[in-house]
Chains A and B, each alone.
Chain A
Amino acid sequence: MKNPFKLFKRKEPLTDTQLLMTITIVIFFIMYLSAVFGLGGGFLHAKQIFDMLNDNSSLIIVACGLTVVMIGGGIDISVGAVTSLVVMSCVLFLNRGGSIIGSILLALGIGLVFGIVQGFLISYLEIQPFIVTLAGLFFARGMTTILSIDPQKSQHEAFNTLRGKKIKISWLGYTAKNGNRIPAQIELGVVVAVIVVILVVILLKYFRLGRNIYAMGGNQQSALMLGINVKRTRFLSYVISGLLSGISGYVFLMHTGAGNATNAAGMEMNAIASAIIGGTLLTGGVGSAVGTFFGTMSLTTINKIVVASGLNEPYWQKITTGGMLCFFILLQSVVLGRRSGKKSSGKIKAFFRRLINSIRKKKKAST
Chain B
Amino acid sequence: MENKRKKFLSGGLGQLTIPLIAIAILVIFNLIRDPGFFGIGISHNNDGNAVLSGNIITIINGASELAILAMGMTIVTAACGGQDISVGAAAAIAGSVFVKVLKSGSSISVGTVLLAFAFSCVVAMIFGAFNGSLVAIFRIQPMIATLILYTCGRSIAYWINGGATPTVDSSIIKAIGGFIPGIPVPTPVFIVLLMAILFKLLFRFTSLELFTQSVGINGAAARLNGINPTLIKLVSFIILGVCVSVSGCIGVSRLGLINHETLLLDIEMDAILAVAIGGNNLGGGKFRISGSIIGAYVIQMLTITLYAMKVPSTDVKAYKAIVIILLVVIGSPVVKARFSKLMARISENWKKATVKGAEE
Contacts and interface: CB of A to CB of B under 8 A. Distances in A.
Interface stretch (A32-40, A174-182, A344-352): A344-352
A130 B83 contact: yes
A139 interface: yes
B273 A337 contact: no
Contacts of B152: 318-319, 321-323
Contacts of A261: 314
B263 to A, nearest CB: 15
A126 B147 contact: no
B200 interface: no
A86 to B, nearest CB: 15
A26 interface: no
Interface residues of B, number: 50
Contacts of B144: 272, 276, 282, 329
A142 B318 contact: yes
Given A134-B273, A344-B138, A121 B324 contact: no
B321 A136 contact: yes
A267 B293 CA distance: 30
Given A128-B276, A354-B228, A325 B147 contact: yes
A89 to B, nearest CB: 13
A142 B319 contact: yes
A46 B78 CA distance: 50
B259 interface: no
Given A139-B318, A142-B318, A319-B156, A131 B147 contact: no
Interface stretch (B93-101, B332-340, B341-349): B332-340
Contacts of A351: 137, 230
B158 A322 contact: no
B222 to A, nearest CB: 15
B158 A315 contact: yes
Contacts of A323: 152
Interface in B173-206: none
Contacts of B156: 315, 319
The main secondary structure of chain A at its interface with chain B is helix
A125 B149 contact: no
B38 interface: no
B116 interface: no
A345 to B, nearest CB: 10
A170 to B, nearest CB: 38
A234 B201 CA distance: 43
Contacts, number: 140
A142 B269 CA distance: 15
A283 B135 CA distance: 13
B147 A272 contact: yes
A127 B328 contact: yes
B315 interface: yes
A145 interface: yes
Interface string B119-152: 0000000000000001001111101110111111
B158 to A, nearest CB: 5
B314 A149 contact: yes
Interface string A124-161: 11111011101111110111011001000000000000
A326 to B, nearest CB: 5
A199 interface: no
A125 B283 CA distance: 16
A191 interface: no
Contacts of B334: 124-126
A125 B158 contact: no
A355 interface: yes
Given A125-B335, A131-B282, A315-B155, A142 B320 contact: yes
B282 A130 contact: yes
B325 interface: yes
Interface string A326-351: 10011001100100000010011001
A141 B317 CA distance: 7
A71 to B, nearest CB: 14
B318 A138 contact: yes
Interface in B22-73: none
A78 B145 CA distance: 20
A61 B334 CA distance: 33
Contacts of A130: 83, 143, 272, 282
Contacts of A321: 151-152
Contacts of B329: 121, 125, 127
Interface of B: 83, 134, 137-141, 143-145, 147-156, 158-159, 163, 228, 230-231, 269, 272-273, 276, 282-283, 312, 314-322, 324-325, 328-329, 332-335
Given A329-B138, A333-B139, 16 more contacts: A121-B325, A127-B329, A127-B332, A128-B276, A134-B269, A135-B322, A142-B321, A145-B314, A146-B315, A319-B159, A322-B151, A322-B152, A322-B153, A329-B148, A330-B134, A351-B230
18 contacts: A121-B325, A130-B282, A131-B273, A137-B269, A138-B317, A139-B317, A142-B315, A142-B320, A145-B312, A261-B314, A272-B147, A318-B154, A323-B152, A329-B145, A333-B139, A344-B138, A354-B228, A355-B231
